[in-house]
Amino acid sequence: MEAISKPLLKWFDVFGRKNLPWQSTPKNPYHVWISEVMLQQTQVLTVIGYFNNFIQNFPTLATLAAAKEDTVLRQWAGLGYYARARNLHASAKIIMAQYQGEFPREFAQIINLPGIGKSSAAAILSISFNQNHTILDGNVRRVLSRYHEVSGHYGQAKTLKRLWHLAEKHTPNQRIADYTQAIMDFGATLCTRQNPSCQHCPIAQGCQTKKHKTQAIFPNPKPKKPKPTKKIAMLIFINEKNRVYLQKRPSKGIWGGLWSFVECENNKNSISQAITNFDKNAQKQKTLPAFKHSFTHYHLLIHPVLIDCKNSNKTFYPASQHSLGLPAPVNKIISQLNKFAL
């Protein structure tokens, strides 16, 4: 595997961000931790102002732990995902109680703090203490997906496993803190979500998506969940004047307030029961071809059933030339009735 760490570190030495407020020398793990949590869902430029304000209000881990939760949430206001602030506050209390206020240095200790995942724990330790840990945040996932043309979405276990494997392979043994920062900066500034700057890319030579011009389709998007299919029967009662029975639907729910046929589950018993309930003399005549109507969250498979209903005292309507609002599938059935019965 062609290493990306060398060219990325070279690029970082020239272009990497080295003056962010949490990049003091020596590193302050409290600052690195706060920045990592803020950066989980927010971009660097936005985080800078919030970070400075937060540190001004809670300059040390002890001050954060001693603060009221409401005060912490107020300083977080605007960053969103408030669970992050609550977790920071809870973690600060744990660190005060269990580690005498010293930020822990063991991976197992950090990963057990509320709201810290594997990649964040690795980033905190590698950036703060130059420990050899591999990160796989959103930026790194995107870079590696493109560089290696990794198929699938990271939400799928197999894809995530492959990405972790690649991330570990690429992590160098030296300059870990710089490499961690380098690959995050590279993803945030060059290998961006839209229109990556491949012409300025230090690792373009080995990039598979650059080679195949497939940058726009990697990382692969989250696969859409297949929509469930609900099956119903639409009962088309037709009287001796070839008029059809339509009923107004409740105002809430699908096709609210429109007019439609009687509906029931698509099985023999439900259909017989619904016919008898409507009129015990009605007779099932034929079943029309089923068709599918799609909504945002599901498909409706409609089985139209024609039913002879002579001498009913219910109100029937002409199949056309009426002023009722009808859902599209009802209109579709009506337009086909000529072929079958009317």
Which CB, 208 or 312, lies closer to ligand SF4?
208
Residue 36 bears catalytic tag = yes
Shortest distance, position 214 Cβ to ligand SF4, whole Å? 9
Residues 108-147 that bind ligand SF4 (CB under 6 A): 143, 146-147
Q: Which position among 84, 89, 133, 210 is part of the footprint of ligand SF4 (CB under 6 A)? A: 210
Which CB, 91 or 209, lies closer to ligand SF4?
209
Q: Which position among 79, 203, 307, 330 is part of the footprint of ligand SF4 (CB under 6 A)? A: 203
* Binding mask of the shown chain, residues 32 to 71, with x at each position contacting ligand SF4 by CB under 6 A: ----------------------------------------
* Binding mask of the shown chain, residues 81 to 110, with x at each position contacting ligand SF4 by CB under 6 A: ------------------------------
Report which of 168, 153, 48 is spatially closest to residue 118, judged by C-alpha positions.
Answer: 168
Strand partners, 187: none
Q: Which residue has the tokens 């609210």?
A: 256
Neighbours of 59 (CB within 10 A): 12
Q: Is 204 in the site for ligand SF4 (CB under 6 A)?
A: yes
Question: What DSSP letter does each residue of 242-300 carry, written as one string?
Answer: S-B--EEPPSSSTTTT-EE-EEEESSHHHHHHHHHHH-TT-EEEEEPPPEEEE-SS-EE
**Cα–Cα distances in angstroms (integers) from residue 236 to residues 92, 228, 278, 292, in the given order:** 67, 25, 11, 17
Are 320 and 334 a contacting pair, CB within 8 Å? yes
Q: Is 9 in the site for ligand SF4 (CB under 6 A)?
A: no
Neighbours of 152 (CB within 10 A): 16
Residues designated as active site = 36
- Positions that interact with ligand SF4 (CB under 6 A): 143, 146-147, 190-191, 196-198, 201, 203-204, 207, 209-210, 215
